[in-house]
């Protein structure tokens, strides 16, 4: 009996003395583990004759319960103490700048932005927006639009077809938005004034073609509509869209199965380094196709060509976006890279309106307050501060955070990341005795830097982030042991 009392006292004393989780675990294992002292007693119990088991059983089991309870209560006490210690040492800096809300951080894709812009312009001229399915029939995509049976566009080579149905017909992914005009003519009475922005598909993939792309087409059907109306609509559209006072337009004869006559429109422009300036210069850029709706198309859609005339046009939204906002690579549009989007994207709450100047005043991704979006400039080209001023401000702001850690040599170099987005590269050189900055020191330093830039109106660095170099980047001998600088 005294044996078990002593054992109990010893275990309970060890539990009370355990200063952390690891020590407590050691005590637990010594008592209740596979070869623990209490486990041995419990095993021994099974070997006793029934008489003795009756008296020893409750004693030993009681001992086990008390030890288990003591372990649990010590575990809780240690947890409380650890939390208490953290609360006493950690603090919240309520002066840190507030992080942006999700609605502020999110970005609108340039294609959505441009679609909204052109919708606003045409809506102002009295156009409605029509939509239709991406999966279409041969009839609506080709036949009703006066494509001959053997037209090359109907080929497997150019069109995505679904497997044939039992009756031999095959659905397809629409190759243009024109089937929506067909649906509109079949279901509404003239006068018709609609635009149809939407996804379109062709079996094409290279630097300037993606298998899915975006088109906007327009259609006007009325008594007495003519090409003069079309010319005015397009001129007003391009002036509003590219935000310029005049545009030079050139109409060249062309061919489409669904229009007669058919025309292509070129816009006058000048290339100024990386910028495309419309309305000046002596170069011409092909921008859209258009024409008077072919009498066969009108007939196919239940309209009498002797009573109604119409005109239509079509152009690529992706290319409009590239031209207006200076985005050189079409493929990046569909790669879903959030870094690309944060560079070129648009604030979700800035809805384009004609009154608001369409592309908005604050030009977050496009060059600050004074930029003209039609100049296809990148944000990085619009400078509030030069590189030297940026480096000086960053150095002055970061020093108070990093010097106390012994990181007194800080280099700040404005540059571009691999996506060509404006970036700040900060290098803090380690010396013997300098400390690694903890996360909250870095956060405070970056918060201060963010605020410092905003205070002087420098908006090129909306996202400041830090990362620790991965271990693989610290190869043996790659850094000078004295200064921490990369050794050459
Ligand atoms: C281009 C040319 C065009 C149309 C689209 C159209 C639609 C109907 C009837 C007649 Cl229902 N025309 N649309 C007309 C001419 C040109 O697009 O190069 N698009 C990228």
In this prediction, residue 53 carries a pLDDT of 87
263 CA distance to ligand 1 middle (Å): 10
Which has more confidence, 348 or 212? Answer: 212
pLDDT tens column, 322-337: 888 888 778 888 888 8
pLDDT tens column, 192-212: 999 999 999 998 877 678 899
* Residue 41 · residue 56 · CB < 8 Å: no
195 CA distance to ligand 1 middle (Å): 11
Give 342: exposed, middle or buried? Use CB within 10 Å, 0-12, 13-18, 19+: middle
Q: CA-CA distance, 406 to 323, in Å (whole number)?
A: 49
- Taking phi first (over 0 means left), then psi (-120 to 50 degrees means alpha), and beta for anything else, what does residue 347 get? beta
Nearest CA to ligand 1 atom 19: 314
The tokens describing 267, both together, are 């816009």
Q: Rounded to an integer, what is the distance from CA 236 to the centroid of its chain? A: 32
User: Average pLDDT, stretch 70-97?
Assistant: 88
Question: In a 3-state reduction of DSSP, which class is residue 464?
Answer: coil
Substitution site in 219, 256, 316 for ligand 1 pocket (most atoms within 8 Å of beta carbon): 256
Q: Which 8-state DSSP code applies to residue 92?
A: -
In this prediction, residue 466 carries a pLDDT of 56
In this prediction, residue 137 carries a pLDDT of 95
Q: Which 8-state DSSP code applies to residue 134?
A: S
User: Average pLDDT, stretch 459-471?
Assistant: 55
93 CA distance to ligand 1 middle (Å): 60
In this prediction, residue 96 carries a pLDDT of 79
- Name residues contacting ligand 1 (CB within 6 A): 145, 178, 181-182, 215, 217, 219, 256, 258-259, 289-291, 293, 297, 312-316
The DSSP bridge partners found for residue 277 are: 270
**Using 50, 70 and 90 to split pLDDT, how confident is the model at 379?**
very low
In this prediction, residue 465 carries a pLDDT of 58
Nearest CA to ligand 1 atom 15: 290
pLDDT tens column, 413-451: 777 665 556 677 777 776 667 777 766 777 778 778 878
Q: Which H or E element spans position 440?
A: helix 439-455
The tokens describing 242, both together, are 């590219």
Q: CA-CA distance, 399 to 430, in Å (whole number)?
A: 14
Does residue 61 have a pLDDT over 80? yes
**Using 50, 70 and 90 to split pLDDT, how confident is the model at 303?**
very high
Nearest CA to ligand 1 atom 18: 289
The DSSP bridge partners found for residue 286 are: 266
Does residue 33 have a pLDDT over 60? yes
Q: Which of 23, 211, 5, 215 is nearest to 114 (CA)?
A: 215
pLDDT tens column, 250-277: 999 999 999 999 999 999 988 887 678 8
User: Average pLDDT, stretch 270-289?
Assistant: 86
Q: CA-CA distance, 264 to 166, in Å (whole number)?
A: 41
Query: In degrees to the nearest 10, what's the CA dihedral of 326, 331, 334, 337?
Result: -80
Nearest CA to ligand 1 atom 5: 314
DSSP readout, 112-132?
A: HHHHHHHHHHHHHTTPEE---
Q: Which 8-state DSSP code applies to residue 330?
A: G
Centre a 10 Å sphere on the Cβ of residue 457 and count the other Cβ atoms it contains.
10
* Residue 305 · residue 297 · CB < 8 Å: no
312 CA distance to ligand 1 middle (Å): 6
Does residue 183 have a pLDDT over 80? yes
- Ranking 8-17, 68-77, 180-189, 201-210 by mean pLDDT, the lowest is 201-210
User: Average pLDDT, stretch 117-135?
Assistant: 95
The tokens describing 34, both together, are 């596979």
Does residue 311 have a pLDDT over 80? yes
The answer to whether the predicted template modeling score (pTM) of the entire model surpasses 0.75 is no
Q: Which atom of ligand 1 is nearest to the CA of 291?
A: 15
The 3-class secondary structure across 370-412, one letter per residue, is: CCCHHHCCCHHHCCCCCHHHHHHHHHHHHHHHHHHHCCCCEEE
The DSSP bridge partners found for residue 289 are: 264, 314
Does residue 237 have a pLDDT over 60? yes
The tokens describing 270, both together, are 């000048």
Q: Rounded to an integer, what is the distance from CA 161 to the centroid of its chain? A: 31
Mean pLDDT of the chain: 83
State the alpha helices, DSSP H only, in 18-49: 21-32, 37-47
Question: In a 3-state reduction of DSSP, which class is residue 96?
Answer: coil
Rg, C-alpha atoms of the chain? 36
Centre a 10 Å sphere on the Cβ of residue 337 and count the other Cβ atoms it contains.
11
Q: CA-CA distance, 181 to 136, in Å (whole number)?
A: 13
Burial per residue of 8-31, b for 16 or more beta-carbon CB atoms within 10 angstroms, e otherwise: beebbebbeebeeeeebeebbebb
Q: CA-CA distance, 273 to 105, in Å (whole number)?
A: 32
Does residue 344 have a pLDDT over 80? yes
Give 251: exposed, middle or buried? Use CB within 10 Å, 0-12, 13-18, 19+: middle
Q: CA-CA distance, 200 to 159, in Å (whole number)?
A: 10
Substitution site in 227, 294, 312 for ligand 1 pocket (most atoms within 8 Å of beta carbon): 312
Q: Which atom of ligand 1 is nearest to the CA of 144?
A: 11
User: Average pLDDT, stretch 83-103?
Assistant: 81
In this prediction, residue 210 carries a pLDDT of 87
**Using 50, 70 and 90 to split pLDDT, how confident is the model at 249?**
very high
**Using 50, 70 and 90 to split pLDDT, how confident is the model at 409?**
confident
Residue given tokens 């309970």 in the structure block: 12
């Amino acid at each position: 009996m005294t044996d078990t009392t002593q054992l109990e006292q010893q275990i309970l004393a060890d539990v009370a003395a355990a200063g952390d989780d690891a020590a407590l675990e050691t005590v637990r294992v010594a008592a209740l583990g596979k070869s623990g002292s209490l486990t041995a007693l419990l095993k021994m119990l099974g070997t006793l004759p029934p008489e003795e088991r009756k008296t020893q059983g409750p004693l030993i089991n009681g001992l086990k319960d008390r030890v288990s309870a003591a372990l649990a209560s010590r575990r809780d006490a240690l947890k409380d103490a650890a939390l208490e210690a953290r609360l006493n040492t950690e603090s919240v800096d309520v002066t840190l700048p507030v992080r942006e809300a999700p609605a502020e951080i999110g970005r609108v894709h340039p294609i959505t932005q441009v679609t909204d812009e052109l919708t606003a312009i045409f809506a102002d001229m009295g156009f409605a927006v029509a939509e239709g399915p991406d999966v279409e029939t041969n009839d609506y995509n080709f036949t009703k639009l006066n494509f001959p049976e053997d037209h090359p566009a109907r080929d497997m080579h150019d069109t995505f077809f679904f497997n044939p149905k039992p009756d031999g017909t095959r659905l397809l992914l629409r190759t243009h938005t024109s089937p929506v005009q067909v649906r509109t003519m079949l279901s509404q009475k003239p006068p018709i004034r609609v635009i149809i922005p939407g996804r379109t598909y062709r079996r094409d993939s290279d630097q300037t073609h993606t298998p899915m792309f975006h088109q906007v087409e327009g259609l006007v059907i009325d008594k007495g509509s003519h090409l003069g109306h079309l010319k005015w609509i397009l001129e007003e559209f391009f002036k509003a869209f590219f935000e310029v006072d005049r545009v030079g337009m050139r109409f060249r004869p062309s061919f489409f199965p669904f229009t007669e006559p058919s025309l292509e429109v070129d816009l006058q422009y000048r290339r100024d380094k990386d910028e495309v300036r419309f309305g000046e210069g002596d170069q011409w850029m092909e921008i859209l196709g258009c024409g008077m709706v072919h009498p066969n198309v009108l007939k196919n859609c239940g309209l009498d060509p002797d009573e109604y005339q119409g005109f239509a046009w079509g152009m690529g939204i992706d290319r409009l976006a590239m031209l207006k906002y200076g985005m050189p690579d079409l493929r990046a549009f569909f790669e879903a890279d959030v870094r690309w989007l944060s560079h070129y994207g648009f604030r979700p709450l800035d809805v384009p309106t004609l009154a608001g100047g369409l592309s908005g005043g604050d030009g977050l991704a496009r060059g600050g307050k004074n930029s003209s979006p039609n100049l296809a400039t990148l944000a990085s080209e619009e400078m509030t501060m030069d590189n030297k001023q940026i480096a000086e401000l960053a150095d002055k702001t970061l020093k108070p955070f990093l010097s106390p850690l012994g990181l007194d040599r800080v280099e700040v170099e404005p540059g571009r990341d691999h996506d060509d987005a404006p970036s700040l590269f900060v290098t803090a050189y380690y010396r013997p005795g300098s400390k690694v900055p903890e996360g909250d020191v870095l956060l405070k330093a970056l918060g201060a830097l963010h605020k410092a830039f905003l205070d002087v109106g420098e908006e090129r660095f909306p996202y400041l982030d830090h990362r620790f170099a991965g271990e693989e980047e610290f190869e043996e001998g790659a850094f000078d042991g004295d200064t921490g600088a990369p050794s050459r």
